[in-house]
C-alpha cells in the first residue's frame, strides 16, 4: 500500500501499528495532500513523537481518527468561499444530508423545488471539485432525483462544522421528515439514517422509534455490537423526555432488547447484563404487572445461575413461576419450568464432590 510505504519512509525504524496506514486511508481516502497534512498534524499534536531516537504513536488509533489540521481546514474553507452563493447553500445543506445525498433531501432542507436543486447540484459537479454524481435515486413515494456525493468526506466535515447549532437542528429535522414521508411504510429500512437525523434534529420521540428499528435491523443480521450502540443511544435520548407511563414502556422495550445483545457479546455473567435486567425489573415493579416482567426475570435468573448465586436464582425462579401461572400462558409455564430446572441442575453439579485424584 502506498500509504504504508509513505509512513515507512517518513518514520524510518518506527514501530507503528499496522492499522495506522488503514486509519490514514480512511481519514484521507488516499489523497496525497490530505495525507501529508494529516500526518504533520499528528506530529504537531504530539500524537506521533520521536522518543529516544524512535518515532512512536503515543495515543490510541481512535484519537488519530478525529480532528483536522488548521491549514487543511483553511484551504477548504477558502475554496468554498470562492463559490457562487447558490452553490454554497446547496453544499451546506448537502453536508447535513451526509457524505452522499439525494437532491430531494437538499430541496427539503432549502424548502425549494427538487428540479431546481437537482440542476444546481449538477452545476456544482461540473464547475467545482466538490461533488461527484452517484446516479439517481427513487424513493417509494415516487420521488426521483439525482444522487450526489462529496468528492472527499473531509469536504463534508468542514462544511458541516461551519453551520450554526440552530441551523443544523432545523436542517436535520426538515430532511428527516421529508425522507420519512418519501419512504412511508418502508421507512424502517433506513431506520439508522432517520434516527441520526431526528436525534440531531432534537425530535426525541421519532429518534427513539427509529433507533429501536435500527437495532432490530442489526439484530436480524446478528450485528449485536451495532444493535447495542443503537439501543444505548435510544436509552440516552429517551431520558430527555418527561417521565410518563409511555416512556417507561419504551424504556422497558429497549432494555429487554439490549439484554440478549449484551449476553451475546459480553457473556451471560457480565455486570452490564445484570444492570440491564435489574433496571428492567425495577421499572416493572414501578409500573405494575406487565408482559415485560417475565423476560426481565428470565434474564436476571440466567445471570445469577452463571455467577453461581443460587439462593437468588431460587427467589427469581419462584417469581417466574408465579408470573407464568398468573398469565395462564402455557408457553410461559414451560419456559419457567425449564429455566428453574436449569438452575437446579447447576446447583446439583456444584454440590457434587470433586473427583478423586489418582
Q: Confirm if 135 and 166 have CB atoms less than 8 A apart.
A: no
Mean pLDDT across the stretch 93-102?
96
Which DSSP category does 133 fall into? E
Mean pLDDT of all residues belonging to the chain: 87
For the CA atoms of 215, 99, 194, 220, what is the dihedral angle to 10 degrees? Answer: -20
For residue 201, give the C-alpha cell.
434534529
For residue 289, name the pLDDT band (cuts at 50, 70, 90).
Answer: low
For residue 155, give the C-alpha cell.
469536504
Predicted local confidence at residue 46, as pLDDT: 80
Q: How crowded is the C-beta side of 85, counted as CA atoms within 13 Å?
A: 0
For residue 24, name the pLDDT band (cuts at 50, 70, 90).
Answer: confident
Whole-angstrom distance, CA of residue 57 vs CA of residue 278: 41
Element (H, E) at 140: none
Predicted local confidence at residue 1, as pLDDT: 64
DSSP-H helix ranges across the chain: 2-10, 19-28, 32-45, 61-64, 70-81, 85-97, 103-110, 114-127, 153-162, 165-183, 191-200, 204-220, 224-238, 245-266, 271-287, 293-307, 310-327, 330-351
Tens-place pLDDT, residues 320-337? 778 877 777 787 877 777
Q: Confirm if 141 and 181 have CB atoms less than 8 A apart.
A: yes
Q: How many CB atoms lie within 10 A of CB 58?
A: 14
Collect all residues with Cβ–Cβ distance below 8 Å to 73 and sequence separation of at least 6: 158
CATH of domain 73-163: 1.10.10.10
Whole-angstrom distance, CA of residue 252 vs CA of residue 258: 10
Whole-angstrom distance, CA of residue 183 vs CA of residue 69: 39
Mean pLDDT across the stretch 90-106?
97
Res. 43: pLDDT tops 90: no
- The full length of the chain comes to 358
Whole-angstrom distance, CA of residue 292 vs CA of residue 309: 23
Q: Confirm if 294 and 256 have CB atoms less than 8 A apart.
A: no
Q: Confirm if 332 and 324 have CB atoms less than 8 A apart.
A: yes
Predicted local confidence at residue 348, as pLDDT: 46
Q: For residue 96, which of 34, 151, 170, 204 has the smallest C-alpha distance?
A: 170
Mean pLDDT across the stretch 17-39?
74
Predicted local confidence at residue 352, as pLDDT: 43
Mean pLDDT across the stretch 290-314?
83
What sign does the CA torsion over 262, 266, 272, 278 have? positive
For residue 301, name the pLDDT band (cuts at 50, 70, 90).
Answer: confident
Res. 351: pLDDT tops 80: no
Whole-angstrom distance, CA of residue 218 vs CA of residue 224: 7
Q: For residue 10, which of 42, 28, 19 has the smallest C-alpha distance?
A: 42
Q: Confirm if 327 and 308 have CB atoms less than 8 A apart.
A: no
Mean pLDDT across the stretch 147-173?
94
Q: For residue 148, which of 126, 166, 169, 131 has the smallest C-alpha distance?
A: 131
For residue 178, name the pLDDT band (cuts at 50, 70, 90).
Answer: very high
Mean pLDDT across the stretch 280-284?
91
The residue with greater pLDDT, 137 or 2, is: 137
The residue with greater pLDDT, 4 or 138, is: 138
Mean pLDDT across the stretch 349-357?
50
Class of domain 2-67: mainly alpha
Amino acid at each position: 500500500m502506498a500509504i504504508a510505504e509513505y509512513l515507512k519512509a517518513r518514520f524510518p525504524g518506527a514501530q507503528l501499528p499496522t492499522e495506522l496506514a488503514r486509519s490514514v486511508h480512511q481519514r484521507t481516502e488516499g489523497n496525497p495532500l490530505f495525507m501529508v497534512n494529516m500526518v504533520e498534524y499528528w506530529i504537531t499534536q504530539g500524537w506521533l513523537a520521536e522518543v529516544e531516537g524512535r518515532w512512536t504513536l503515543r495515543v490510541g488509533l481512535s484519537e488519530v481518527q478525529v480532528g483536522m489540521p488548521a491549514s487543511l481546514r483553511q484551504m477548504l474553507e477558502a475554496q468554498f468561499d470562492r463559490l457562487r452563493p447558490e452553490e454554497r447553500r446547496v453544499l451546506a445543506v448537502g453536508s447535513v444530508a451526509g457524505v452522499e445525498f439525494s437532491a430531494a433531501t437538499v430541496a427539503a432542507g432549502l424548502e425549494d423545488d427538487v428540479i431546481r436543486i437537482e440542476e444546481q447540484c449538477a452545476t456544482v459537479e461540473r464547475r467545482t471539485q466538490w461533488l461527484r454524481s452517484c446516479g439517481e435515486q427513487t424513493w417509494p413515494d415516487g420521488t426521483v432525483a439525482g444522487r450526489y456525493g462529496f468528492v472527499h468526506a473531509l469536504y463534508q466535515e468542514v462544511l458541516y462544522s461551519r453551520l450554526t447549532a440552530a441551523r443544523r437542528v432545523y436542517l436535520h429535522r426538515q430532511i428527516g421528515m421529508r425522507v420519512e414521508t418519501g419512504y412511508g411504510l418502508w421507512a424502517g429500512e433506513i431506520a439508522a439514517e432517520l434516527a441520526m437525523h431526528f436525534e440531531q434534529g432534537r425530535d426525541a420521540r421519532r429518534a427513539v422509534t427509529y433507533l429501536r428499528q435500527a437495532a432490530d435491523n442489526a439484530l436480524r443480521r446478528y450485528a449485536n455490537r451495532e444493535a447495542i450502540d443503537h439501543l444505548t443511544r435510544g436509552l440516552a435520548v429517551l431520558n430527555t423526555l418527561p417521565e410518563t407511563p409511555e416512556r417507561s414502556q419504551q424504556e422497558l422495550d429497549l432494555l429487554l432488547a439490549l439484554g440478549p445483545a449484551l449476553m451475546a457479546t459480553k457473556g451471560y455473567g457480565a455486570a452490564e447484563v445484570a444492570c440491564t435486567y435489574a433496571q428492567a425489573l425495577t421499572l416493572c415493579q414501578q409500573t405494575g404487572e406487565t408482559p415485560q416482567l417475565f423476560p426481565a426475570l428470565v434474564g436476571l435468573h440466567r445471570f445469577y445461575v452463571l455467577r453461581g448465586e443460587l439462593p437468588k436464582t431460587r427467589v427469581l425462579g419462584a417469581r417466574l413461576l408465579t408470573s407464568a401461572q398468573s398469565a395462564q400462558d402455557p408457553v410461559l409455564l414451560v419456559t419457567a419450568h425449564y429455566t428453574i430446572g436449569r438452575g437446579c441442575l447447576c446447583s446439583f453439579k456444584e454440590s457434587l464432590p470433586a473427583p478423586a485424584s489418582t
